[in-house]
Amino acid sequence: MKIAVCIKRTPDSETRFRVGASGSSIDEGGVKFDMDDFASYAVEVALQLKEKAGSGEVVAIALGPDNVQETLRKAMSMGVDRGVQLKADAVPFDGLAVAKALAAELKSSAFDLIFFGKHAFDTSEGVVGTATAELLDLPCVTAASKLEIANGKGTARRELEGAAEMVEFSLPAVVTIDEGIARPRYPSLKGIMSAKKKPLETKPAQLGTPRVAVKSMALPPDRPPGRIIGEGSAAVTELVKLLQTEAKVL
Amino acid sequence: MANFLVFAETRGADLRKVAGEAVSVARRLADASGGGEVHAVVAGPPGVAQKADTLGRFGADVVLAIEHPALATFAREAVAATIAQRAKSATYRAIVLGFTAQGRDLGPRLAAKLDAPIVSDVTEVQIAGDSLTVKHPAYANKVVVTLSITGTPAIVSVRPSAFAATEVARAARVEPLAPAIDPATTRVKVVQVIEGAKGRPDLADAPVIVAGGRGLKAPENFKLVEDLADAFGNAAVGATRAVTDEGWRPHADQIGQTGRQVSPQLYVAVGISGAIQHLAGMRTSKTIVAINKDREAPIFKVADYGIVGDVLEVVPALTRAVREAKKGH
């Protein structure tokens, strides 16, 4: 079982963001970065499949400046065998441009499965995985919340709005990973030590020409300050009145 | 003058609410760029073309109906190939679709097939001459990004409920559109659709959401949340990540940064402390009510109306009061 996992380095999701001086990026001062949550689920699923198969290789690929090497090392400390950095000054806000670089890297290696997170926290678009699959002309399942691989075939569950669907697909394939599928493991001390010696290759990213550009970023308007209207069930009458007369939602 | 193509989403043989919203967005953009035509693609089992009237009402000039028995479920590869083929044979300024489970899957496929720039989950769209600009809430709704897109067709997926479906008097003409590949023999096949809870709207569509957190103390107490939702009558039920991680509720019910992002008219947070992860999923709700025993809980900073108290006592009282209020109508 040969699996590639495309991972992204994103800011800590608990951050209180500020807009940077340029007005078109976040202020990264004091912001912690780590492997994106969805990417970490994808890494975990890949490692579990390799362990179940008893042999194989899991390769992590990240696009970006040299700081993504830290994210690749983290993947390797979890158990990924080697890392590939597709070097670029920055990750554009253009999912198709990124997908082109990943497809160029992935097309020459015969992977059974290629995993992505369903989307990355920062751009929150969910374009790259599915677009990469199309560029490679591979079957693709987006946002799998359950996944089983057996006899060269895959079965996945996808959450729909108010329902779910089960899909079957042939391998090789691309799968983007939703939450709830697996709890990512913590790197062990031994994992951290061995990650330092695992191969990490760097090559230039063959990005497409970005056609989606960030003009500006802004924080959403603040909500009015909260108001406590009372205590215990005695406050219920007042609440219903306010919902009827002030908020007009009842 | 420029024409616009819309993917009007169906489930089974029924149009989804977001289909009308996407057609409305395209109508407005077509009008803003000199009055071009809006072509709406609808894919489904035979008979789905009859839904065309609805799409005309929201401003479609032409309904392109892909009918095939295998399209009763979402045959994504066939739908993508057919729309891409159509888009190559005509000139469209943009392709508009919903940012839904289907749209998230379809949009990037079209972008790659057509080598077209794509923007996802947009809440505002402006067109002026060659310039197309959108607003997209990123960083889990914590930062609003304004993006400009060059190149045609641009692929724009719109956030459900962010745009109104506006009625305009228009009669759409229906044209059949032949599938570009056989929907029955695609590499990814839907083998089963598992329906969710009956009789309740989905989180994306519901005007009222009642959500429960760990303050409910035990999974069986979620009944209180469901009873309150039933009292409102039109409410969906959601949960926090803590609750879905515990297995009290399915992951699909999770509201928050990594789960569903919702903006109902009324959001009732029951026993929810208000972690940043949860607030990211619901802070754009119009009115927020919070019931929690801890006066210092962060949820009270965003709640328009907060009640400090034991949810096991306050929620049943609220359920009774809402039932009474509904009766009075």
* pLDDT tens string A138-167: 999 999 999 999 999 999 999 888 889 999
Q: Where are the beta strands (DSSP E) in B143-302?
A: 143-149, 154-158, 173-176, 188-195, 208-212, 235-239, 266-270, 287-292
Q: Give the pLDDT band of residue B301 (cuts 50, 70, 90).
A: very high
- Residues of chain B positioned with their CB less than 8 A from the CB of A143: 101, 104-105
Cα of B113 to nearest chain A Cα, Å: 7
| pLDDT value for A3 | 98
Does the pLDDT value for residue A78 go beyond 90?
yes
Looking at residue A203, its amino acid is K
pLDDT tens track for B39-94: 999 999 999 998 877 899 999 999 999 999 999 999 999 999 999 999 999 999 99
**Which residues fall within 8 angstroms of residue B128, CB to CB, at 6 or more apart?**
B32
The reply to whether residue B289 touches residue A243, judged by beta carbons under 8 angstroms, is yes
Residues B4-32 have pLDDT tens digits of 999 999 988 889 989 999 999 999 999 99
Among A69, A250, A200, A222, smallest CA distance to B328 is for A250
In terms of CA atoms, which chain B residue is nearest residue A25? Answer: B145
Nearest C-alpha of chain B: how many angstroms from A199?
31
Cβ A249–B109 below 8 Å, yes or no? no
Q: Could you tell me which residues come within 8 angstroms of residue B58 by beta carbon, excluding any fewer than 6 positions away?
A: B20, B23, B24, B27, B165, B166, B167, B168
> What pLDDT does B261 receive?
87
Which residues in chain B belong to E strands, given as ranges? 4-8, 10-11, 14-15, 38-44, 62-67, 94-98, 118-122, 124-128, 131-138, 143-149, 154-158, 173-176, 188-195, 208-212, 235-239, 266-270, 287-292, 305-308
In this predicted model, what pLDDT tens digit does every residue of A28-55 receive, in sequence order? 999 999 999 999 999 999 999 999 999 9
> B83 and B112 in contact (C-beta within 8 Å)?
no
Q: What percent of chain B has pLDDT over 70?
A: 99
Interface test with A, best of B119, B135, B142, B282 (most A CBs within 10 A): B142
Q: Tell me the residue type at A205.
A: A
Chain A residues within an 8 Å CB radius of B80 = 134
- pLDDT tens per residue, range B220-230: 999 999 999 99
A vs B: CB pairs below 8 A? 287
- Pairing assessment for the beta strands B305-308 and A228-231 based on DSSP bridges: parallel
Inter-chain CB proximity B266 and A160 less than 8 Å: no
Q: Which one of B9, B77, B104 would you mutate to disrupt binding with A, by most A Cβ within 10 Å of its Cβ?
A: B104
Give me the residue from A167, A179, A227 closest to B251, CB to CB.
A179
Count CB atoms within 10 A of the CB of residue B166: 15
Q: Output phi, psi for A233, to 5 deg.
A: -70, -15
In this predicted model, what pLDDT tens digit does every residue of B137-149 receive, in sequence order? 999 889 999 999 9
Instruction: Burial-class residue B35 by CB neighbours within 10 Å (0-12, 13-18, 19+).
Output: exposed
The pLDDT value recorded for residue A23 is 96
**Across the interface, which of B120, B204, B295 has its CB nearest the CB of A125?**
B120
Measured from the Cβ of residue B273, the count of other Cβ atoms closer than 10 Å reads 20
**3-class state of residue A13 by DSSP:** coil
Rounded Cα distance, B124 and B101, in Å: 20
Given a cut of 90, whether residue A221 has pLDDT beyond it is no
- B201 contacts A162? CB cut-off 8 A: yes
Query: Among positive and negative, which fits the CA dihedral A202, A207, A213, A219?
Result: negative
Q: What are phi and psi of B203, to 5 degrees?
A: -55, -35
Q: How many CB atoms lie within 10 A of CB A137?
A: 11
Q: What is the mean pLDDT of residues A113-124?
A: 97
Chain B nearest-CA distance from A72, in A, is: 22
Q: What residues of A are in contact with residue B303 (Cβ under 8 Å)?
A: 226-228
Is the pLDDT reported for residue B329 higher than 70? no
Give the residue from A16, A118, A160 with the most B CB atoms within 10 Å of its CB, the best one to mutate.
A160
The answer on pLDDT for B192 being more than 90 is yes
Q: What does residue B267 show for φ and ψ, rounded to 5 degrees? A: -120, 120
**pLDDT for the residue A139:** 97
Amino acid at B145: V
Collect all residues of chain B within an 8 Å Cβ-Cβ radius of residue A250. 232, 266, 322, 325-326
Give the pLDDT band of residue A208 (cuts 50, 70, 90): confident
- For the segment B99-105, the average pLDDT, to the nearest whole number, is 96
Tokens of B297: 């809980």
Residue B159, both tokens: 């956030």
Burial status of residue B190 (CB atoms within 10 A of its CB: 0-12, 13-18, 19 or more): middle
Mean residue pLDDT of chain B comes to: 94
**Residues of chain A contacting residue B189, judged by C-beta atoms under 8 Å apart:** 167-169
ipTM value for the complex: 0.94
Rounded to a whole number of angstroms, the distance from the CA of B36 to the nearest CA of chain A is 24
Nearest CA in chain A to B238: A162
Percent of chain B with pLDDT over 90: 81
Mean pLDDT value across chain A: 96
